[in-house]
Structure 1
Amino acid sequence: MAHAIRLYEHGDPGVLNWERVEVGEPGPGEVRLRQRAVGLNFVDTMFRDGTFPLTLPTVLGIEGTGTVEAVGPGVDHSVGDRVAYFYAPGSYATERVVSAVPLVRLPDDISVEQSATFLGKGLTAWMGLRLLHQIKAGETILVQGASGATGTILSVWAKALGAKVIGTTGSPGKLDSLSSIADHALLASDGGFERDLKNLAPEGVDVVYEFVGKATLAKSVAALRDGGALVTIGAASGSGELDEGLLAARGISVSGGSTVRNVHGELVGQATGDLFSAIRDGVFSSVEAARYPLRAAAQAHEDIRGRRLVGPSYFISSE
């Protein structure tokens, strides 16, 4: 019998319900997927608590990976194919019917655990490093929220591409962990933040990757050199206001947007190819992912809310 995490009301992690569900047969353009692992993303918590309201009841989650068990008409997949997807709402389930459109075939040497850890967050990191700003060796970058899941992956990948990475966190307890992710680790809320950053980048950093939003946005702009680039990907603390006149006067470019809107069509193949190559090359060998049984989704969300996690996390649906 299939199970899923169903949401009947918005609220704290206690509103997540582990239930038996019926899974039908796939229709045209769909497959039935037995999910082996499920991605855990910060945005899931925002869907859960109503920051981004959902039509209820619903199954939470947007990312998963597993094996095709049945295919509908017009689908270019076969039973037994190992596939993954980044954005298809309803992923917190052991089995599901899903559109074949977002499915990506997994190479034999990429595990379902690696896919659940890196696919969605890795595509977002790729977007920041290759699409919104083409990172160059020797650039100095500031990653606001580097201890978060995507911030960790982007920081590690940027280092591998030759950038000098200054990473920030809002939690003093995460500084030691952040030191293994970035070249330099700073506490964003420290009174000496600006002084320490000035010592590391006297002329200002070349690029800021902003995952935090309102709480750090002013510091991010101040940290940039004239002519630098502000890349806004996340807003964990809410959206902030930008002074367009100041940005124009200093020649600072601003780019951003969601992965779904920016990475689509042929870019998906390019991005996943680069990501899988990076995994094979051991770029992320230092990244440790937290693993939870899918039935323990409420605990995982509680750990995110309590800021107890560093780096990415995922669910194993069979545990």
Structure 2
Amino acid sequence: MSDDLPGLDLTRLREHLDAELPGLISGPLTGQLVQGGRSNLTYIVGDGARQWVVRRPPLGHVLATAHDMGREHRVMSALAGTSVPVPRTHLMCQDDGVLGAPFYVMEYVPGTVYRSPELTASLTVEQRRDLSLRLIDVLADLHTLDPEQVGLGDFGRPDGFLERQVRRWSKQLAASRSRELADIDRLAELLGARVPTTRRSGIVHGDYRLDNVLVGESLEISAVLDWEMATLGDPLTDVGLLAVYWEGLDGIENNPIAKGIGPEYEFPPVRELWQRYAERSGIDLSDVEWYRAFGFFKLAVISEGIHYRYAHGQTVGDGFEHIGALVPHLVSQGLSALDEEA
């Protein structure tokens, strides 16, 4: 395996693709690790004429169900041809013997991932608002799709979804717990005690945010990426988590997941996005603060898992040394959101 591409053996990949998709590749494969991801590893590979994207789980410590390649592949394949833009999928491989873990291959979609203040600074204020509304419109479109009509009727269990989510992320926390974290258990308990009634079930992305989409030259959303946590359930969990990324991470020194979005960067406030979403989807947002609090809890658990892998030398990329310091802030913000909800 190449030292330059941890987790991706280009020779083994080429052999597998030649066997499964003869004629797809016309020359020697080259590849690069895409920087910026905090979870699954993403590579761009090419043969000199075309490019593709390969996705696989992170190296080392992997939480159960948290990096499900088959899940990503299935939902993107199902959404092809809908109003939700996704890359075309080419191949899913469940055989760990090829790359050491399951992986899939999809088309390369050109576009910009706005993942930093430097990138969003290139947009005018009008463009920032336009892009924000397009982002929330795609989310509303996703949530109003009929799962049965796209072949995802058995993709999850909507009944009891919120209760299971609180339990699931509490278990994920226990699996990555390596230090004392003040108030995180209290946040989980309060969330479990105040679970709202789901008003509509649908397809949930699980980590919807600006830097998980590709943006085209005309500021259209050209592809929604990173479907590893997609399921059927309460779509407002996506709305709550987007609010966390939009306004819940400002003012943090050395913030490794600051993306240059939200009102402090002259993007519209999250409440304007909520209003747009409600109008487009017809979903009632009266309990949205609970969903925002749950978003803080979920992101805290994800961040703690990344901190665990970083501390044990089991992750790839830059900026991980600061991720652990973010967790207490997320917990505090989650408790504050519950105070507003109450």
TM-score normalised by L of structure 2: 0.26
TM-score normalised by L of structure 1: 0.27
